[in-house]
Amino acid sequence: MRILIAGGSGYLGSNIIRRFSNEHQFINISLTSTAKQAAVNVLVDIVKPLAFLSFDRPIDMIINCVECFPQRYENGEKMKKSYLAMMRNLVEFARNNSISKIIHFSINHINTIENNYQQAKFVAEGLIKNAGINYIIFKPSIIFGQNSPLDYLIDKLIAKMILFRFWSDDAKLAPVHISDVLSNIEHAMYENNCWNESYTLRGPEILRFEEMLVRKMHRRPFVLGAPNAIVRQSLISGSNIPEKMKLLLDWVNSDGLGFSRPLLRPQHFYSYK
């Protein structure tokens, strides 16, 4: 298949390309960055209409891994507007080019709409479902494994002698390994009876964030309370931290386990062995 992937240079997109590039040809579209593994990279502003975009051979499928990072915008409203413009452009491009399938990655924690980020993801799901195109919406829990942003975050945290709590003790996570996410994508590529559904991809365990820290530290961390704004600044200031990791600082409070319809039983427990 020829697959148009949006966000192929990010963590999830690059893993998808790495896993399936021997079987399928990927064309990555991005505004500023390229995917090293992709057969073709096209630098284009996806927020603007894509009518000018054309290829010598038909595209069989779109995979959308684009994340909306609040840090890139002046405010949440502009972030939401840009993300939804990008989604409308992808849908319109699929319709105009007779692309019959789209796999879209959303988030797990939008059972309640509390901010612009969650609203953007929620509305985007509606755009996909009502586009008249065969779709699968994957809603993964927090992803770990193979140098994920979550692994990066935890490595940075355990390097500190004392941790300031930025998570809620009541927050529960069901971390899913990247290989399980890729297994579900592979299943979707070759099975027609799983389309036009949303799937929550969760790991087999439900953990508190502090339990995840203990797994890697092999001891319970010494944690102090502090205002969330101060904690965020201490973690981010003077550090070259991926934007996705910054987003995780909010995510660990609101994973929202919710509805689960996994295609495959996740095999990987949260472990650093």
pTM for the whole structure: 0.84
In 3D space, the residue among 135, 99, 86 whose CA is nearest the CA of residue 1 turns out to be: 99
Helix runs in 68-148, H state only: 76-96, 116-129
Contact in structure between 174 and 141 (CB atoms under 8 Å): yes
| 35 is a domain residue | yes
In 3D space, the residue among 270, 248, 254 whose CA is nearest the CA of residue 157 turns out to be: 248
| 139 is a domain residue | yes
pLDDT by 10s per residue, the chain, length 273: 999 999 998 899 999 999 999 999 999 998 777 777 777 888 888 888 888 888 889 999 999 998 876 556 667 788 889 999 999 999 999 999 999 999 999 987 655 566 787 888 889 999 999 999 999 999 888 889 888 888 887 887 777 766 777 666 766 778 889 999 999 999 999 888 889 998 888 888 888 888 888 888 877 777 776 555 555 555 545 444 444 444 454 454 444 444 445 666 666 677 754
Kindly report the CATH number assigned to the domain that includes residue 20. 3.40.50.720
Total domains in the chain come to: 1
| 98 is a domain residue | yes
| 257 is a domain residue | no
pLDDT for the residue 196: 94
pLDDT for the residue 244: 46
Rounded to the nearest 10 degrees, what angle do helices 209-217 and 149-158 cross at? 70
Structure tokens at 165: 């709590």
Give the separation between CA 117 and CA 101, rounded to whole angstroms: 25
Q: Phi and psi for 125 in degrees, rounded to 5?
A: -60, -40
Structural domain span for residue 144: 2-251
pLDDT for the residue 27: 93
